[in-house]
Amino acid sequence: MLRGATIVAGVVFVMALVGILSRPLGALAPVWPANAVLVGLLVRRPRLVTPLAWLAAFVAYAAADLVTGSEPGLALLLAFANVVGVTVAYLSFRRLPAKHRRLEEPRSLAYLFLVSGAAALAASLVGSLAGPVYLAAPWHRMVRLWFVAEFVNYTVLLSVVLTAPTVRPGAWRERRASEAPGMARWYPLLAVVAATVLGMLLDGYGAIAVPVPALLWCAIRYRFFPTALVTAGYSMAMLTLLSQRASEGGTSIASLALGLLAVVGAPLTLNLVQRQNAELMQRLSRAVNHDALTGVLSRRALGQRFQEALARCRAEGASAAALVLDLDRFKTVNDRYGHAVGDEVLVRFARAVSEPLRSEDLLGRLGGEEFVALLPGLEHEEAVAVAERIRGTVERLRMPIDGHEVACTVSIGVATATADGLPEDWRELVQAADQAMYEAKESGRNRVASVALWPAAPSPSELDTV
């Protein structure tokens, strides 16, 4: 508990000092990362949320103001206002589903705006009391300035803190490997920097929109966290500049800051929409190409995947093997235990068959209890050894399902072809393995039968419709 409170106090104190250094408007800082960072920390690490941590945060807020020369009364009031805003944001986020706390959907941004607005309003109503008492500023002006600054800071910075990846060994190398090679990965970022500098050199309200095309480019090319990080950097730079140019009444800074928020909301929304569409396409592709029950390749996907794998083997001068696997006396399982148990047996059987296979191997379901696998690059003896491992694994498998311990065996047919004898049609190789599987059945089941092919190749028959 003490360690957690110390972490909270340290984070708040450092972030508050960063914000205080950006104060060109007297008591209000246009860039105030302390609140958003604290909310994100508490939401992502709920174990830190203790009464002592809340007290530590309050003390850290006040200490940052005191060491930079604020009056004690003003420091305490501002600290209390910040804690009120953080409390509203934290409690609001805890009521949201985890997917929205992680900003995984476009709708999550709407919740982020609502939570940020509520927290900013609560803090501004409390903190604005400092205006008439300590700053000789009208209450309504303080409410407007505080609300806008907090709203922008919460929205922009929380999008970064809530989606920051967890640091783990090797993660950086994996992310770099998935990005565009060379300098290409940096082009969108460099475009944002150049556009931001140009916007700073221009006068007028339209300056904040100059980097929009570059920000949209980031949204298309990067993941959500880098996109949020870039937009946050742009927002903080522009918010600091706008605060320096603001009129004394504060109307300009309020309207421009809200306009800035609308600008940065576009790339964040685009990124989430793009990611959601990609996930939907992946799910659709899986539904079309994979068996709904077992998760292996579906019958309609076998042809294209197997044909492509054989073409690669021919191009690389590699051999290939096909395995046809059929559960023995599976009808008895359905008759004795019911089809629900039979379906579960198929699921566990497919899982057991997948374990000995390599990542480049293909496994699909022909129908019923019959499965087929293609093993690129394996010679005849190697393929037979894999089949024997699968047969032994299935033979030892005991499946407790609905109060029954179900056991089963499998008959496997293996057909292999060398690089110079690979058939043009994948169905020829599978047909040969299918015939070998029937030989295993006729030999007593729970066996592996194999054939090394070519040039003596059977013609496709019943698999023509696959």
Find all residues with CB under 8 Å of 41, minimum gap 6, and list them: 7, 8, 11, 48, 161
Q: Which residues contact 133 (CB under 8 A, 6 or more apart)?
A: 73, 77
Characterize the bridge pairing of strands 398-401 and 410-417: unpaired
Q: Is 84 exposed, middle or buried (0-12, 13-18, 19+ CB in 10 A)?
A: middle
Residue owning tokens 């937009």: 231
Closest-CA residue to 457 (of 435, 426, 428)? 428
How is residue 155 written in tokens? 């929205």
Please tell me which residue in 360, 369, 424, 439 is annotated as part of the active site: 369
Q: Is 424 a catalytic residue?
A: no
| Positions marked active-site | 369
